[in-house]
Amino acid sequence: MSKVSIRTPDIVIGRLPIYLRVLEHIASNGTRVTSSQEMGEHLGISPAQIRKDLSHFGEFGKQGTGYDVVYLRKQLQRILGLQQDWDVALIGAGAVGKAIMRYAGFRGRGFHIAAVFDNDDSKIGRKINNLKILHVNVLKSTIHQMGIRMAMITVPSEQAQKVADMLVEASVEAVLNYAPVNLIVPPEVHVQHIDPVVGLQHMTYYLSSYSTLTQG
Amino acid sequence: MSKVSIRTPDIVIGRLPIYLRVLEHIASNGTRVTSSQEMGEHLGISPAQIRKDLSHFGEFGKQGTGYDVVYLRKQLQRILGLQQDWDVALIGAGAVGKAIMRYAGFRGRGFHIAAVFDNDDSKIGRKINNLKILHVNVLKSTIHQMGIRMAMITVPSEQAQKVADMLVEASVEAVLNYAPVNLIVPPEVHVQHIDPVVGLQHMTYYLSSYSTLTQG
DNA sequence: TAGATTGTTAATCGATTAACAATC
DNA sequence: TAGATTGTTAATCGATTAACAATC
C-alpha cells in the first residue's frame, strides 16, 4: 500500500482568495506581521481553521510570531496561480458587461479583460475601455489565437447556455457566469456564479418571520 | 427532556435560492412537474440532498410523481420571505451602483431598490432610474422613515467599513457588499459579499500548475 | 526566560449519501 | 398493477475544533 496523496478539498481552495483579500487589507494598513487569530477576527473564522487550511500547502508562519504579511500573500498568490495576470474574455457588451469592463478591481488582483464579444451588429467595432467589441462569430478563433482560458458571461439569461456551449467548444476552461441560470457544462469545465439576488434571498430568510416563528 | 428543535443549517438555507432559480428555469420551459433527480442534474447536486434539504421545511412532493413546479416554487418563496418585494437601499452612486440600479434582475425575484445615497455633492439630486440620489447625511432618517431593512454597498473599498457602520447605526439588518473588503459588523447583522475576483481566483487554482503538479 | 503562536493530531461535530418503506 | 419517486433513517464521509508539543 503506497501513501495516498489527498486532494485538497475544494472548500479549502474557496477560502484562499478570502484569506488573500484579508492579507491585502491588512497590508494596506502597513501591518507587517499577522496571526491566524487576527485574520480570523476579520473573517469570523476560527484561527484553527485558517492554520489547518494553510497546512495543506506548507508551513508559512513562525511559532510565537505569526505570519509575515507580504510573504504569506505571495505564497497564496503562487498557490492560486496569480503570479501573472490571466486574460479573460467577456461575452455580452450590455449594461452589465460595460460596468464590468470599467470596473477597476480586476487589475492588480490577477485578471485582465482581453477580449469582448457581442452578437449585436450595431455594437461591433465600438470600443469599451479602448477594447473593440468583436462579433461572437469570431469567438472561437480569437480565443484560440489569444490563448484565453477564462471567460465571463454577461448576456441575457436566455442566451447564457448557448454562449456557454460556444465557450466549451472554444476550449475555455473556467467561466464566471453573471446570468441567473445554472449552466450545464462538461465536468472538466469550472463554473462560478455571480448572482446578487441569491445573496439577498439567503438573508431574507433570516429577516422574515419564517425562521423565527418555526425555529429558535 | 423535551424535544429540541434543531435550527436548519445555514448551508441548507443558502441552497434554497439556488433551488428557486432552477425551478424558475424549469417553469420557463413550461414544465409542470419535476423531480429531485431532474433538479439535481441541473445543479450537479445529488437528488438525496435536495430531498433532505426540503424535508427541513415540510413535504412538498408526491411519491411516484415528483414536485409540482409552481407549488414548490411558491413554497420556497414563502420560506425565504419573498411573498412581497423587499425595499433595499443602495449606497454609492458610482459606476457599479449605477449598473445595479439599471439591472433588471431584482424585480420579479423579490427586491426593489427604494433609495440611493452618495456623498458626492455634485451627484445629489440627480436621478438614476427615476430615483433621486440622496446625501448620506440623510441615510439614517430616510432608512428609518421608509422602514428599509436591507442595503447594498457599492462605494470604494476604503469607505465600505464606514458605510457599514452607518448602516448598522441605522438598524439595517442585512448588507450585500460589493466592495472587496471584509466588513466587521455585530453578529446580528447579516452580510453577503459579491466579489467576482474571488470566484475567478478560486478557478485559477485548478487552471494553474499548482494543483496538478503537487496533487492528483 | 516567559509569552505567544504555529503546525498537527485526535476528537468532535455536522453534512452527505445510500437505502428503502411508503405510496402515488 | 408495475414503475417511479418521495420522505426519512442510519451509515458514511468529511470538515471543524480543541488541545498541545514544538519553538520562535
Encode pLDDT of B165-197 as tens digits: 999 999 999 999 999 999 999 999 999 999 999
pLDDT in tens, A96-139: 999 999 998 898 999 999 999 999 999 999 999 999 999 999 99
Beta carbons within 10 angstroms of residue A200's beta carbon:
25
From residue B18, alpha-carbon distances to B11, B39, B45 in Å are 12, 10, 11
DSSP A8-70: PPHHHHHHHHHHHHHHHHHHHTT--EE-HHHHHHHHT--HHHHHHHHHTT---EETTTEEEHH
A190 to B207: CB separation less than 8 angstroms, yes or no: yes
pLDDT at residue B68 above 80? Answer: yes
Residues of B with CB below 8 A from A202's CB?
13-14, 16-17, 192
B205 to A81: CB separation less than 8 angstroms, yes or no: yes
Q: Which domains are present in chain B?
A: 10-79 (1.10.10.10), 86-195 (3.40.50.720)
Instruction: Say which residue the cell 477594447 belongs to.
Output: A131
Q: How far is Cα A199 from Cα B193, in angstroms, rounded to an integer?
A: 8
- What would you report as the CA-atom Rg of chain A, rounded to the nearest whole angstrom? 21
Q: What is the mean pLDDT of chain A?
A: 94
Q: Residue B190 phi/psi, 5° resolution?
A: -90, 140
pLDDT in tens, A53-65: 999 999 999 999 9
Angle separating helix axes B10-28 and B47-55, nearest 10 degrees: 110
Per-residue pLDDT at A209: 72
Question: What's the pLDDT band for B210 if we cut at 50, 70, 90?
Answer: confident
Contact A202, A178 (CB under 8 A): no
The partner residue sitting opposite B80, judged by closest CB among A81, A194, A205, is: A205
Per-residue pLDDT at A98: 94
Nine-digit cell at B50?
435536495
Q: Could you give the angle at the alpha carbon of B91 between the alpha carbons of B88 and B94, nearest 5°?
A: 125
Question: What's the pLDDT band for A1 if we cut at 50, 70, 90?
Answer: very low
Residues of B with CB below 8 A from A152's CB?
196
Q: Name the closest residue on chain B to residue A29, using Cα atoms.
A: B158
Q: Which residue has the higher pLDDT, A209 or B163?
A: B163
- State the average pLDDT over residues B75-100: 96
Q: How far is Cα A24 from Cα A85, in angstroms, rounded to an integer?
A: 17
Strand boundaries in chain A, DSSP class E: 33-34, 61-62, 66-68, 86-91, 111-118, 127-128, 131-135, 150-153, 174-177, 190-193
- State the average pLDDT over residues B66-79: 98
Q: How far is Cα A96 from Cα B145, in angstroms, rounded to an integer?
A: 31
3-state helix, strand, coil in chain A (%, to 5): 45, 20, 35
Q: How far is the CA of B82 from the C1' of C17 (A)?
A: 31
pLDDT in tens, B139-171: 999 999 999 999 999 999 999 999 999 999 999
Contact B142, B160 (CB under 8 A): no
Touching A: B residues 91-130, CB under 8 Å: 95-96, 98-100, 102-103, 105-106, 109-111
A62 touches strand C (CB under 7 A): yes
pLDDT at residue B131 above 50? Answer: yes
Question: What's the pLDDT band for A210 if we cut at 50, 70, 90?
Answer: confident
pLDDT at residue B216 above 60? Answer: no
Nearest to A92, CA basis, from A146, A139, A147: A139
Name the closest residue (CA) to the C1' of nucleotide D9: B52
Residues of A with CB below 8 A from B15's CB?
none
Q: Find residue B88's DSSP bridge partners.
A: B113, B150
pLDDT at residue B213 above 70? Answer: no
Q: How far is Cα B40 from Cα A82, in angstroms, rounded to an integer?
A: 33
pLDDT in tens, B42-67: 999 999 999 999 999 999 999 999 99
Contact A43, B182 (CB under 8 A): yes
Q: What share of chain B in percent tops pLDDT 70?
A: 95
Touching B: A residues 177-206, CB under 8 Å: 180-182, 184, 190, 192-206
Maximum Cα–Cα distance for chain A, whole Å? 64
A49 touches strand C (CB under 7 A): no
Q: How far is Cα A179 from Cα A195, in angstroms, rounded to an integer?
A: 7
pLDDT in tens, A34-57: 999 999 999 999 999 999 999 999
Instruction: Say which residue the cell 462569430 belongs to.
Output: A137
Residues by CB within 7 A of strand D: list them: A 9-12, 45-46, 48-49, 51-52, 62-65; B 35-37, 47-48, 51-52, 54-55, 59-67
- Measured in angstroms, the CA of A101 and the nearest CA of chain B are apart by 10
Q: Name the closest residue on chain A to residue B192, using Cα atoms.
A: A199
Q: How far is the CA of B47 from the C1' of C17 (A)?
A: 10
Q: Does B212 touch chain A (CB under 8 A)?
A: no
pLDDT in tens, B19-37: 999 999 999 999 999 999 9
Per-residue pLDDT at B2: 39
Q: How far is Cα A95 from Cα B14, in angstroms, rounded to an integer?
A: 28
Nine-digit cell at A33?
506581521
Touching B: A residues 78-97, CB under 8 Å: 78-82, 86, 88, 95-96
pLDDT in tens, B84-93: 999 999 999 9
A181 to B98: CB separation less than 8 angstroms, yes or no: no
Q: Name the closest residue on chain A to residue B86, using Cα atoms.
A: A204
B176 to A99: CB separation less than 8 angstroms, yes or no: no
Q: How far is Cα B126 from Cα B133, in angstroms, rounded to an integer?
A: 6
From residue B111, alpha-carbon distances to A14, A181, B23, B165 in Å are 28, 18, 18, 23
pLDDT at residue B5 above 80? Answer: no
Q: Which residue has the higher pLDDT, A3 or A194?
A: A194
pLDDT in tens, A133-186: 999 999 999 999 999 999 999 999 999 999 999 999 999 999 999 999 999 999
